[in-house]
Structures are given as structure tokens and as C-alpha cells.
Amino acid sequence: MNKSIRLLTLAAAALALFSAVGCNKLRARDQLNKGVTAYKNAKYEEAIDDFQHATALDPSLINAKMYLATAYAQQYIPGADTPDNNKMAEEAIKQYQSVLEMNPARDQKVNAAKGIAYLYLNMKKFDDAKKYYRMAADLDPNDPEPYYSVGVIDWTACYQPRMEERAKLGLKPDEELSAKNKDQKKVCEELKAKNEPLIDEGIENLNKAIQLRSDYDDAMAYLNLMYREKADVECDDLDARQQDLKTADHWVDETLATKKAKAEKQPGQQGITMDQKQ
């Protein structure tokens, strides 16, 4: 008799537990829906509160974590280096990383990786940004955007130190580093050793982006810039410099032609047809 009572008690406890879990899941989805409504109305602080409640009630609810990460990211202001602003980015990254650890669907994983990469990019943590853009590219090799983003990061990492060194030498932006000047040649060789791997990687990734999206005019524009970076560190190889500049000019032409073709395809670009009847 006592054994039967114990079994009934355990069964009742298990039923109550399952009932509570089911109830929490329903409440979590209700909080998620409220958060989505607030998010769509740009009430991000309210949305964050709702998504936090949803994830607390049901930690397995991936959509709630994705929305929570995105809501934090919306609160982050790129370029504003303040503790509160950086905390928003860090909270967003934390939630995106939590999604990556939950074995989500591929699209969710790609979006989480891109979200982290974008935040690190704006925080100027370039190596971290490239790590997650590469993750996104591995997950979806046919998406041109991660390749483009790596190319942009590589150009930024080359351009900034090069311009700083040129400024120290008193050069104008359009002046070339001269191999005939001892100081300029030394700087050129140092920059080449530092930047050449980034230049090669950037060109490779930008070309990959264009292979995947033939009208990717932004990638074409950055290929122009990257070849100009390459030209400026050819140092005493004048033939190589001229070839790089020629390639850069080619990508300027390709960018303009692609933009023009896109504009012509847009509705309303044909102008007004006048009635020729008199």
C-alpha cells in the first residue's frame, strides 16, 4: 500500500513539473510576441525587457535570444566609445554567442555570426570581426557579403597605418613613396612587410565576392582602393606600381559601369516621353 502511495506521489510530482514547464514555455512565447511588437515599434528597451523574460522562462527559445541580441545591437551606436554604449555591444555579442552554442538552424547561425562580426567591426576589433565573418562564409559559402566585409577590414587595416606614416614624412595624400629617398624607402619596405599579407587577402576576398555577385559595385570600388594600397608599397618596382594602378583604374571603370547599368534598370529612370503628335 505504501509503495503504491509513493508511486502515486511521484507521478503527481512529475505531472506538476511537466505542467509547470509547459506553462513556462507558453509564457515565454507570450513574452516573445510582446517583445517582437515592441521591437517593431522601435521600443528597444521595452523589447529587451520582454526578451529577457522570455529567455528566463524558456532558455531553449532560440528566437528570443536572437531578438534579444538584435535589440541590444540596435541600442549600440557605432563610433561612440563610452562604457554604456560598449556594454550594449558586449551584451549583444554575448547573446549571439549563446545562440551559436545552441545548435541552431543554419540561417540563425549565419545571422548570429554576422551580428557578432558587425559589432566587432564597429568596435575596431578587426581580428575578431574577421574571425566571425569567416565563420559566416564557412556556413554559407555562396553569400558574398562576408568576403566583401573581410576585404573592407583588410583595406582599413592597411590604409590607416600607411597614412599615418606618410603624414610623419610630410607627404601629401597623392604623393608616392619614393625609393630614391632613404627615409621614404625604409617606411615603404616596413609597410610592405606589414601590409602585403592583408592586401593579398583583401584582393582575394573581394574577387570572391564579385564572383558570387557579378554586379557587386561596392566590392569593385574596394578592389580599386586595395590595388592602390598595393601600388603604394611596390617601393622601387615601378613596373609593378604602374600595373597595380592600371588595375585600380580598371575597377573604377567597372564600378561606374555597374552603377550605371543598375540605375538604368530602376523603374522611373527612362524619363518622360513627350507626345509627338501636333
What is the C-alpha separation between 200 and 213, in angstroms, rounded?
Answer: 20
What is the C-alpha separation between 111 and 113, in angstroms, rounded?
Answer: 5
Q: Which residue has the higher pLDDT, 178 or 247?
A: 247
Its sign, for the CA torsion 129, 130, 134, 135, is negative
Which of 11-15, 102-106, 144-148, 265-269 tops mean pLDDT? 144-148
Is 79's pLDDT higher than 50? yes
| pLDDT score at 273 | 35
- All 3 cell numbers of residue 146? 562576408
Which H/E stretch holds residue 127?
helix 126-139
| pLDDT score at 268 | 58
DSSP 140: -
* CA 266 and chain centroid, separation: 27
**Of the candidates 28, 87, 89, which has an alpha carbon nearest to the alpha carbon of residue 62?**
28
Is 8's pLDDT higher than 50? no
Tell me the average pLDDT of the chain: 87
Mean pLDDT lowest among 56-70, 118-132, 191-205: 56-70
> What b/e readout covers 138-174, taking b as 16+ CB neighbours within 10 angstroms?
ebbeebbbbbbbbbbbbbbbbbeebeebbeeeebeee
Measured CA angle at 74 (ends 68, 79), to 5 deg: 135
| pLDDT score at 4 | 56
| pLDDT score at 173 | 74
| Full DSSP string of 144-213 | HHHHHHHHHHHHHHHHHHHHHHHHHTT--TTPPPPTTSHHHHHHHHHHHHHHHHHHHHHHHHHHHHHHH-
In the chain, domain spans:
25-118, 142-258
Residues 133-178 pLDDT 10s: 999 999 999 999 999 999 999 999 999 888 899 889 888 877 888 7
Mean pLDDT lowest among 2-6, 78-82, 235-239: 2-6
Is 11's pLDDT higher than 80? no
**Of the candidates 79, 208, 205, which has an alpha carbon nearest to the alpha carbon of residue 154?**
205
| pLDDT score at 200 | 97
pTM of the model: 0.83
What is the percent of the chain with per-residue pLDDT over 70, rounded to a whole number?
88
Res. 277 pLDDT band, cuts 50 70 90:
very low
**Of the candidates 102, 91, 27, 19, which has an alpha carbon nearest to the alpha carbon of residue 63?**
102
| For range 189-211, the mean pLDDT | 96
Res. 30 pLDDT band, cuts 50 70 90:
confident
Is 87's pLDDT higher than 60? yes
Residue 102: burial class (beta carbons within 10 Å; 0-12, 13-18, 19+): middle
Res. 19 pLDDT band, cuts 50 70 90:
very low
CATH topology classification for 25-118: 1.25.40
| Full DSSP string of 215-268 | T-HHHHHHHHHHHHHHHHT-TT-HHHHHHHHHHHHHHHHHHHHHHHHHHHHSTT
| For range 23-43, the mean pLDDT | 86
Per residue, the 3-state secondary structure of 201-219, as one string, reads: HHHHHHHHHHHHCCCCHHH
